[in-house]
Structure 1
Amino acid sequence: MTVSVVLFTSDLRVHDHPPMRAALEGGGEVVPLFVRDRAVDRAGFAAPNRLAFLADCLVDLDRALRRLGGRLVVRSGDLVEEVSRAVRQAEAEEVHMAAGYTAFARAREARLRQALEARGCRLHVHEGVCTAVPPGDVTPQGSDHFAVFTPYFRRWQAEPLRTPLPAPQGLRVPAALRSEELPGRSGLSGVSPGLARGGEQEGRERLRSWLSHHAHAYEQRHDDLAGDATSRLSAHLHFGTLSAGEVVFRAGRSGGAGAAAFVRQVCWRDFHQQVLAARPEAAGQDYRSRDDRWRRGREAEADLSAWREGRTGYPVVDAAMRQLAHEGWMHNRGRLVAASFLTKTLYVDWREGARHFLSLLVDGDVANNQLNWQWVAGTGTDTRPNRVLNPVLQGRRYDPDGAYVRRWVPELAGVGGLDGAAVHEPWRRSGLDRAACDYPDPLIALPDGLARFRHARGLVPQG
């Protein structure tokens, strides 16, 4: 009787899971294995919010597997060593896992393949588990990846999607194989107080509810900061409690302009994955250098600290940063505005902002975080690299009643009276005592920040 190991990484679900389906086709026992890889901790990827969400996901995955007659086997240590140990203990003949596309994931996969081949065990790496369309499946003529989103999206849309796989009917796990205790949230410090719950059951219910009740209005409302009309599925896609392919498949079947606009946003995730797969160095280096000489020194550090704390003096920026601290998540429009303010108004290196986001974001994904930051900073794939988002105008447009700002910056709750837009203008206080409300003056006047940025990029001669 054959024994197969299914190694879970960023695919913590039982629905639409090709590695598990392939392992079960052999008809033998299956070891559902998750390794808490210490190398992930050392690389700085194990932020408290993601560890808490991961704990929820593992508990939920174990519960789902037990309903099928199995259980999750959890180990901690070096992933290659722990998988090899499980293979030896279970006398497994093959290992199935989802493909990863970062330099870290690829190096780990190569090490694992080498170790397993030395034991006579086959490693099967499955594409299209963590993305709707695998990186490399669509490429432009003469290049290994698309560098511009729109032509990629046209080709991506034309790719046929596989029909999502149902959860298996059952599975058998070798009884003698030991597992560590499942991790939990208790004992974790630094977790955002408003962090959402994780797990496949939570993700599937959120997807069902959102497609049923909210997707139709997505095209009109996805930038509404106070309305909070986005799907909030990003963490579930990051941890793979939802299959990106199934999300696109189900959204496409629901129809309508809202669902189509949502699918386009999911495509951005695949777009960034294929960029990083082709250019792994873009995780830390400029994809397209603009010869920036980012600000350094004490004043820049003070500005960076104020930005992190949500005390820049620009209300919509500060509201977004405070939402991030409280929830471990931030509205996408808020991410764009906050990132533009740091890189182009304060002219601070995008890597500093990306590092802070990764320290808090529950959906903190190397490809999407780093390449979105580069897009905003103008060092990435944006075809308008020098665009600057004005936080006052962005606030007026996407939070016209000031409700988002007042929710996250309560010291400004009394500003403006019935004039909601006034809360976005830091120089208008409508008679409010500035000292009493404890809200800071702007770090820099917007025209001064814009002039500095344009000089730094060589767009205008130095005066």
Structure 2
Amino acid sequence: MTVAVVLYTSDLRVHDHPPLRAALDGAQEVVPLFVRDPAVDRAGFAAANRLAFLADCLVDLDRALGERGGRLVVRKGDTVSEVRALVRQTEADEVHLAGGVTAFARAREERLRKVLEEDGCRLYVHDGVVDVVPPGDVTPQGSDHFAVFTPYYRRWAGEPLRTPLSAPREVRVPTGVRSERMPRRSGIADVSPGLAAGGESEGRKRLASWLTAHGDAYEQRHDDLAGDVTSRLSPYLHFGAVSALEAVQRARKRGGAGAEAFVRQLCWRDFHRQVLAARPGAAGADYRPRHDRWRRGAGAEADLAAWREGRTGYPVVDAAMRQLAHEGWMHNRGRLLTASFLTKTLYIDWREGARHFLDLLVDGDVANNQLNWQWVAGTGTDSRPHRVLNPVLQGKRYDPDGVYVRRWVPELAGLGAPAVHEPWRLSGLDRAAYDYPDPLIGLSDGLERFRRGRGTS
């Protein structure tokens, strides 16, 4: 019996899965494998919310494979060592996995290729599994990647896409292959109480129901903080429980302005991935240095703590930070507001904010998290690097009735709009009635400090 191994990483599904299909086409038996690598923990990416969501995804993947006669094999240890041991045990001829863009993923692929070649086993790295358009497929003349989104989007939108693959009918796994016990969410501490359920079945249901209920309204309402008509698919995309390519194809089939606006957001995901693939150092270093003199010391630390805890004195900022803590997720407009406030009003290094987001976000993805933070901070690909978002005006525009603020900042539940966005303007007993802090800094003072620090004033 010929055997192939499918190494699952951030592609935890059975639908539209090129590595699984290729393995089944080329071998009589297949071992679907996921390795819980301690190197991920050491790198600081083993956040509780993602571990809990991952556990859901693995349980669901094991169930889906079981319905097809197979199962998921889970191992713990160094990924390369565990794959090699499994290849030797099963005498596998091939290993298939989805291509990655981070420095960690690229190094893992190279190590795998080297050790498998020594054992006479071939490694197949499949592009277009996690992305819609793989990094490097769309490039400008004279460069290895696009540094500006709009021209990238024009090219990306015209790329021919493959047809999504159906789930296999049968998966035969060799007997005698041991597996660790499947992880469970219940065994993980410090999980955000409002964290969504993970898994391919949940993600596919969410995609279908969202396209029907909110797809048409997405263009007009995707910034509506209280209405929250965003798809909330980002965690499922991050873990590959939903195929980004299939999501694009289904949205385009539905058609309309809302569907196209949704597709454009998925393009942003590919855009950041192709930037990181070309410039892996951008995960921690400025893509475009601005020679910032970021604030340090006790004052900056106190402001950073207030920002993390949702007590900056700016209600819409605090509401978004508290949503993050409760759900392990934050509305897209909230992400822009909180990041702008930290980097440009408080003038604190974007890496501090990116680290906190990675500590909590269930969709905490290196490419999208780090490069979105750089975009807002003005050290990334934004063509207007010095723009500053005013949280008061943004709150009034995207939460005009104050519903979002009152939902997450209950101290202000008794205030109506527009006062709920500027409670410090109340006087006397009216102000004393609300146990809510005054702003950390005036917006004009923060703007002037930012301009001085960046040297634009």
How far 1:431 sits from its partner (Å)?
Answer: 6.3
- In 1, Cα distance between the equivalents of 2:331 and 2:166? 32
Contact 1:415 1:432 (C-alpha < 8 Å) held by counterparts: no
Contact 2:5 2:96 (C-alpha < 8 Å) held by counterparts: yes
Counterparts of 1:253-264 in structure 2 under 5 Å? Answer: 253-264=253-264
Contact 1:35 1:75 (C-alpha < 8 Å) held by counterparts: yes
How far 1:28 sits from its partner (Å)?
Answer: 0.6
- In 1, Cα distance between the equivalents of 2:408 and 2:186? 27
Change beyond 3 A, Cα 1:438–1:83: same
Unpaired segments of 5 or more residues in structure 2? none
SS at match of 2:326: helix
SS at match of 2:153: helix
How far 1:310 sits from its partner (Å)?
Answer: 0.1
**1:441 matched residue in structure 2:** 438
Counterparts of 1:375-454 in structure 2 under 5 Å? Answer: 375-416=375-416, 420-429=417-426, 433-454=430-451
**2:360 matched residue in structure 1:** 360
SS at match of 1:226: coil
Aligned length: 457
Off by >4 Å, runs of 4+ in structure 1 = 430-436
Contact 1:16 1:167 (C-alpha < 8 Å) held by counterparts: yes
How far 1:422 sits from its partner (Å)?
Answer: 1.4
Asked whether 1:349 is paired with 2:349, we answer yes
Contact 2:75 2:82 (C-alpha < 8 Å) held by counterparts: yes
Residue of 449, 456, 459 corresponding to 2:456: 459
SS at match of 2:34: strand
- In 1, Cα distance between the equivalents of 2:63 and 2:115? 31
- In 2, Cα distance between the equivalents of 1:55 and 1:371? 27
**1:59 matched residue in structure 2:** 59
- In 2, Cα distance between the equivalents of 1:330 and 1:234? 10
Unpaired segments of 5 or more residues in structure 1? none
- In 1, Cα distance between the equivalents of 2:423 and 2:82? 55
**1:158 matched residue in structure 2:** 158
**1:196 matched residue in structure 2:** 196
Equivalent position amino acid for 1:26 in 2: G
- In 2, Cα distance between the equivalents of 1:430 and 1:162? 62
Equivalent position amino acid for 2:236 in 1: H
Alignment deviations for residues 209-264 of structure 1 (CA, whole Å, 9 cap, x no partner): 01111100000000000001100000000000001110111111110000000100
Counterparts of 1:54-453 in structure 2 under 5 Å? Answer: 54-416=54-416, 420-429=417-426, 433-453=430-450
Contact 2:307 2:318 (C-alpha < 8 Å) held by counterparts: yes
Equivalent position amino acid for 2:139 in 1: T
Contact 1:414 1:432 (C-alpha < 8 Å) held by counterparts: no
SS at match of 2:336: helix
Alignment deviations for residues 357-387 of structure 1 (CA, whole Å, 9 cap, x no partner): 0000000000000000000000000000000
How far 1:430 sits from its partner (Å)?
Answer: 6.9
How far 1:434 sits from its partner (Å)?
Answer: 4.2
- In 1, Cα distance between the equivalents of 2:169 and 2:303? 56
- In 2, Cα distance between the equivalents of 1:259 and 1:231? 11
**1:49 matched residue in structure 2:** 49
How far 1:331 sits from its partner (Å)?
Answer: 0.2
- In 1, Cα distance between the equivalents of 2:442 and 2:27? 68
Contact 1:238 1:364 (C-alpha < 8 Å) held by counterparts: yes
How far 1:27 sits from its partner (Å)?
Answer: 4.2
SS at match of 1:186: helix
Contact 1:17 1:129 (C-alpha < 8 Å) held by counterparts: yes
- In 1, Cα distance between the equivalents of 2:198 and 2:7? 19
Equivalent position amino acid for 1:31 in 2: V
